[in-house]
Amino acid sequence: MKKKIVVCDALHKRAFEILAENDDIEYIDASGEDKTKLLDIIADADVAITRSSTDVDDKFLGAVKNLKAVVRAGVGVDNVDIDGCSKKGIIVMNVPTANTIAAVEMTMCHLLNSARKYVNSSNNLKVDRIWKRELWYGTELKDKRLGIIGFGNIGSRVAKRALAFDMEVVTYDPYIDSSKAIDMGVEFTKNFDDILACDFITIHTPKTSETIDMITSKEIAKMKDGVRLINVARGGLFNEDDLYEGLKSGKVAYCGIDVFNKEPANNHPLLELENLTATPHLGANTLESQENIATQAAQNAINAARGASFANALNMPIDTTKTPKEYQEYLDLIQKLAYLAAQINKGFIKSIKVTTEGEVGEYVDSLVTFAIVGALKESIGENVNYVNAKFIAEEKGIEIVTKSEKSQSFKNRVEISLTTENDSIKLGGTVFDGNIQKITNINDIALDFKPKGKMIFFKNEDKPGVIAKLSQELYENGVNIVDFRLGSDHKGSALAVVLVENELKKEIIEKLQDIKECKWVAYATI
């Protein structure tokens, strides 16, 4: 019996050619169908291929009966309910690398235009019919300093091209080994102010809690007068209101932007400004990248329909018939512990150690995979998944260690120890009543709280009055405390875990750091 693949959104013709070449595959092109009718078409599909036009939501998932996988033809999966898919045993896959070169070259387009303003000058001639060369003096890239935020697949390739223009290149990326940049002839910095001092700045990071609003009015104020900014990565990495003010004042001489926080952005205030060139999210829009995306999506869909492989899987479907639910909870817990550890102890990861107590140790291989995904999520976001996690860890030279201990206070318990170039941190936890996850310790300090919400971790000298200072600072900044947990190592140090209602700005964290007794403070979210 043939496997059925439904193509829900428009794809390059190469996808359909590949699907047609396989005799065991039946495919339906539903890209032009009404979304209501699509629900009937996908009812008996084995695999669905989608793009941004189809929401894999409750209606979609409620309509399918046999679906094994959803292949998102592209990188972003904002329109896919991954948790909902997991609960129905549906694997979600994306195509994360097919548009790398297209995004790199789009960055170079905006970089060159920010220097020469050729879009503006072309419009002045073609639309206004004005020939005034004196209006369009630009600046050369040669000998200018380019700051690259994020040095992954795209950022490193932008650097290579910028070096060919004789630019001086400096990069900031706390999650890579500095040798990756230095070996290319790129300066590596741990001081973000070195980036802010550059003539041109471009950002190439995933969209995470750490990178949203990475550039605000505070950072812009530190920049050179006449700085030029580029964002072809994700909307929201630059605070758009602050960017508007920076451009309007002239502090930012020019900005090239391909992405917005909310799209489509037809009426965005930024579009009013003459010193900004905006493109409608065209980073992946080359004929080559669209063919690459279509080719990979089609082949991945075929492999998934056959059950042969699930490349770039972003989830691990929950199969309650094979794994006891209490151990599923531990997989979820270890991922959360690792994610928290990476937010608290930022930096290039050197090792990940997973320690187990009790029968949960029988699932240590799966625990390690989930731990790696959690630990790397903070730095590379959606580019890490349950299929490639161990490969990425090996590629980055991360040492993976496992240890089994006899159960002491708990029937089952897991612990993650994360070592970066800066520090080491341990977080342990257990599960009560089958589904209540609790964190039991941070380093050697015993605690008891759920891994959920917006959390401040505040380690301090164990002296009277510190809690009052911490609470007062939060009060003065309008931060509402939801819960407060405190532990001590009985050696002169205490650790507070403060659950708060508000998102915390960097400025508040810095104020907490200035409290005399503070040893370190971190903000993390789950």
pLDDT at 374 over 70: yes
- % pLDDT > 90, the chain: 81
pLDDT at 318 over 60: no
- % pLDDT > 70, the chain: 98
Mean pLDDT for 198-213 is 92
Identify the CATH number of the domain in which residue 469 sits: 3.30.70.260
The closest of 410, 508, 419 to 458, measured between CA atoms, is 508
Q: Are 133 and 246 part of one and the same domain?
A: yes
Q: Are 222 and 188 part of one and the same domain?
A: yes
Domain contains 265 = yes
What is the per-residue pLDDT for 323? 56
DSSP H or E stretch at residue 466: helix 466-476
Q: Are 263 and 197 part of one and the same domain?
A: yes
Q: Which domain, by its residues, includes 301?
A: 3-98+288-306
Residue 172: C-alpha distances to residues 24, 159, 196, 206 (Å): 49, 12, 10, 14
Listed as own residue / partner, the contacts of 434-440 with beta carbons closer than 8 Å and 24 or more positions apart are 434/325, 434/326, 434/329, 435/325, 435/326, 435/329, 437/329, 437/332, 437/333, 437/336, 439/337, 439/340, 440/410, 440/413
What is the per-residue pLDDT for 380? 84
Length of the chain measured in residues: 526
Domain contains 318 = no
pLDDT at 320 over 50: no
Identify whether 490 is a catalytic site residue.
no
The closest of 50, 46, 44, 43 to 29, measured between CA atoms, is 50
Mean pLDDT for 465-493 is 95
- Residue with the larger pLDDT of the pair 42 and 503: 42
Identify whether 268 is a catalytic site residue.
no
Q: Which of these three, 421, 450, 479, is where a domain ends?
A: 450
Domain contains 187 = yes
Euclidean distance between CA atoms 42 and 30, whole angstroms: 9
Mean pLDDT over the full length of the chain: 93
Domain contains 283 = no
pLDDT at 340 over 70: yes
Q: Alpha carbon 112 to chain centroid distance? A: 27
- Strand 493-500 with 481-488, pairing: antiparallel
User: Among residues 17, 21, 245, 263, which one is catalytic?
Assistant: 263
- DSSP letter for 80, please: B
- DSSP letter for 449, please: E
Q: Are 113 and 233 part of one and the same domain?
A: yes
Q: Which of these three, 450, 475, 501, is where a domain ends?
A: 450
Q: Which of these three, 450, 477, 500, is where a domain ends?
A: 450
Q: Are 423 and 512 part of one and the same domain?
A: no
Identify whether 281 is a catalytic site residue.
yes
Q: What is 270-302 written as a DSSP string?
A: GGG-TTEEE-SS-TT-SHHHHHHHHHHHHHHHH
Q: Are 54 and 107 part of one and the same domain?
A: no
Q: Are 71 and 158 part of one and the same domain?
A: no
Q: Are 439 and 471 part of one and the same domain?
A: no
Identify the CATH number of the domain in which residue 167 sits: 3.40.50.720
Q: Are 206 and 107 part of one and the same domain?
A: yes
Identify the CATH number of the domain in which residue 362 sits: 3.30.1330.90
User: Among residues 72, 234, 240, 378, which one is catalytic?
Assistant: 234
Q: Are 173 and 268 part of one and the same domain?
A: yes
Q: Are 172 and 260 part of one and the same domain?
A: yes
What is the per-residue pLDDT for 182? 97
Q: Are 118 and 230 part of one and the same domain?
A: yes
Euclidean distance between CA atoms 92 and 300, whole angstroms: 11
Mean pLDDT for 420-445 is 94
Domain contains 312 = no
Listed as own residue / partner, the contacts of 490-494 with beta carbons closer than 8 Å and 24 or more positions apart are 492/461, 492/462, 493/445, 493/459, 493/460, 493/461, 493/462, 493/519, 494/445, 494/459, 494/460, 494/461, 494/462, 494/466
The structure tokens listed for 250 are 């002239």
The total of structural domains in the chain comes to 4
CA torsion sign for 228, 233, 237, 241 is positive
Q: Residue 391 — very low, low, confident or very high, per pLDDT cuts 50/70/90?
A: confident
Domain contains 49 = yes
Mean pLDDT for 52-72 is 95
Domain contains 492 = yes
The structure tokens listed for 271 are 């579009």
Domain contains 371 = yes
pLDDT at 317 over 70: no
pLDDT tens readout for residues 249-295: 999 999 999 999 998 999 999 999 999 999 999 998 999 999 999 99
509 phi, psi to nearest 5 deg: -60, -40
pTM of the model: 0.79
- Strand 168-172 with 493-500, pairing: unpaired
